[in-house]
Homo-oligomer: A and B are copies of this chain.
Amino acid sequence: MARPIILFSQQWSDLPLEDLAQKAAEWGYQGLELACGGDHFEVQRARAEPGDGQEKRGLLARADLSLPVLSCHRVGQAVCDPIDGRHQELVPDYVWGDGEPAGVRQRAVEEIMAATQAAQELGASVISGFTGSPLWSYVAGYPGPSSAVIAEGFQNFARQWNPILDVCRDCGVKFAAEIHPGQIAFDLYTAEMALDALGGREEFGFTLDCSHFHWQGIDPVEFVRRFPDRIYHVHVKDAALTVNGRSSLLNSYFPHGDPRRGWDFRAPGRGGIDWESLIRALHEIGYQGPLSVEWKDSRMNREQGAEEACKFVKRLDFEPAGRSMPL
């Protein structure tokens, strides 16, 4: 289909953007999902130096790459999380500041607002990202949260994100919250609850990444059908279940690639996701946005993998039927 196949830059932040752009183009990609942070795209610098955005666009254009989506996953995590030491590594120094939680959260909000304006200037119509969650520590643990605690968590989420979404509305940019453990919305029903908490405002939709659904037992096709007009972005990442009686779906505390995990990410097409049914569901709802390869596979060489993934998605994304045919 005419959907652009793009590469998410987060996993390549160790390469200069120019090098990445050249490689991505050679591998067959048509654009990037550019991750804020680090050298690739520093929001504050972009705000300070008016030509910076233009320069990035030029750099990508020279490699014949589009820039339909800007990612602010990392800083988004700080918007409504309880802040602890882990967040220092996720956000720029000027967002972390003295690390006092309320201040970090506030500066994270401002950073995403700035990123939204940058997206507008860069011509990206979607910001993808994490939201953080005031409730995550309660999930699956003991004791469960009371309904009052849950309600307060969603109000907190709405308080933090509504001002950002106002900026999105003003900039004509949509926010695509990734459905992901650790975020306010991590499954179908929490996605419903998040949307409700925001009064269903149109600036807010979802980034669909099936790899996070797989081990939770959720069918991404059901998700697509439940939110046909809220799929604002799609990540292509595979996952494999590796439960063997001893490993747990919660993965103990093991990093990716550890054989004692109960599931792990895999290069697209090398895991257990039913891509054929997913692409048909995306055809069904008329999704027109990009398919963004988030390349994570701890056992495979990433350059070989990224090239293979681009080819995989091209084969996958067949041309939908235009009209009825004779039976």
Contacts and interface: CB of A to CB of B under 8 A. Distances in A.
B245 A219 contact: yes
Contacts of A253: 135, 138-139, 144-145, 147, 150, 190, 193
Interface stretch (A44-52, A82-90, A119-127): A82-90
A62 interface: no
A199 interface: no
Listed residue (A10, A183, A280) with the most chain B CB atoms within 10 angstroms of its CB: A280
A57 to B, nearest CB: 23
A281 B242 CA distance: 12
A246 B188 CA distance: 6
Contacts of A304: 318-319
A180 interface: yes
Listed residue (A12, A90, A302) with the most chain B CB atoms within 10 angstroms of its CB: A302
Contact of A259 (B89, B186, B225, B325): B225
Nearest to A242: B277
B299 A141 contact: no
A10 to B, nearest CB: 7
A22 to B, nearest CB: 18
Contacts of A324: 298
Contacts of A11: 325-327
Given A218-B246, A299-B320, A251 B325 contact: no
Listed residue (A139, A145, A259, A321) with the most chain B CB atoms within 10 angstroms of its CB: A139
9 contacts: A11-B326, A141-B182, A181-B250, A188-B247, A215-B249, A217-B241, A244-B245, A296-B327, A301-B321
Pairs A-B, 4 closest by C-beta atoms: A141-B182, A301-B319, A137-B137, A219-B245
